[in-house]
Amino acid sequence: MINPAGIRKKAERLYYEYLTALLKSELFFPIEIPFGKPNHTGDYVIIKNEVEELINGSKDKLGYGYKFELERFNTRKYGLQSLPSRIYFENEIDYLKYIKKEKEVSEFKIAISQIRESIPSLNDWINKNTSKVIDNIGKWNDILKVCEYFQKINKPNLYIRELPIEIHTKFIEENKGTLKQLLDFLLPNEAIRKDESEFEKRFYLRYDEPLIRVRALDQSLLAKYNLSFSDFSVPIIIFNDLKIENGRFIITENKMNFLTLPYLKDTFGLFGGGFRIEILKQIDWLKKSNIIYWGDIDAQGFQILSQIRSYFPCTKSVMMDFKTLNLFQQFIVSGTPTNAAINLQNLTTEEKELFDFLNETNCRLEQEKFDQNYVIENLMELI
């Protein structure tokens, strides 16, 4: 026979069903607690004790909680006995007090009222995210302030802690998960970078941006683009403002190769730093530039080359060929195989052949091992 502990468990399982009914203003009470058929063939003393336990845990004794109805059953061994035929919660007060959710539901109702009053369009969201509303009890006043701000200012271009919202400075940082869901629901498509998962990037906020290292390999470029230094590092947003359209850029994977790039007319050097090259994809004006990539002759070098071409299709490679590999074969070392071959759709036929060779033989030639005269000679041919 079910006991008060079993009734509590079943009542708790109905909690989110109750909240859903509450949201939709649907009737929920009285709510039945299923318990199966009473076992009236057991020991009389056990049955009697179980019924008494059920009575002692009920509203009749506690003043709240479940109610029950007894029915007389004719048992083969003990004759007529009173056993439960129905267990139910009569109303919300009895139910919530029994499962110890009075305070939480009171706060839930306040939160729902607040959300609907402040941002009515969130009604569909809260109907599908009841647990999220509960999880953020006590925070909704500030959450709604953030949502209302982003609805007014779609692309703030400020650091999180610069936003003119009356909340504590770490609130957004500590609640990014919930805020992301809400802003994804509320904001128009043009206010969201769907391909970005990081909160700041996704909602057009400033962040601790990576620095772009640039060298002007021709001093005449300083005056042409009003630059103060020939070698400088700037955040990506500032680099984007330079708008050096129709320029020539040589991207290198290794920093020392970047630092030792020779004089080249009308050319800038860019330090790529491996796969972090992805940050350049947001620089639209680079699509109008002449881009040359010089990386290690290994599987990863060609992965990066293919990646760059996915942003800037006209990118050319230099010193990433069989000729260079054979010329410096004494410096070949073991590489790191990759299974990314199927994704390398931006390589030329010759580049793909070299990539396959490197991957199969597990070898690598680092660009910093190249003779400097050979480097200068090949770069000069690009002009």
State pLDDT tens for residues 317-364. Answer: 999 999 999 999 999 999 887 776 556 889 999 999 999 999 899 999
Average pLDDT over residues 242-252: 90
Contacts of residue 2, defined as CB under 8 A and 6 or more positions apart, other chains included, come to 33, 35, 36, 54, 84, 87
Closest alpha carbon to 205 in 191, 194, 185, 195: 191
Beta carbons of 80 and 73 less than 8 angstroms apart:
yes
Beta carbons of 60 and 67 less than 8 angstroms apart:
yes
What pLDDT sits at residue 75? 66
Does the reported pTM lie above 0.85?
no
State pLDDT tens for residues 82-116. Answer: 788 899 999 999 999 999 999 999 999 999 999 99
- Computed over every residue of the chain, the mean pLDDT equals 91
State pLDDT tens for residues 211-227. Answer: 899 999 999 999 999 99
Q: Strands 267-271 and 31-32: what pairing?
A: unpaired
Q: Where are the domains of the chain?
A: 4-100, 103-202, 211-380
State in words which class domain 211-380 has.
alpha beta
The neighbour count for residue 141, using CB atoms within 10 Å, is 13
Find the DSSP H helices in 119-175. Answer: 123-128, 130-135, 140-152, 171-174
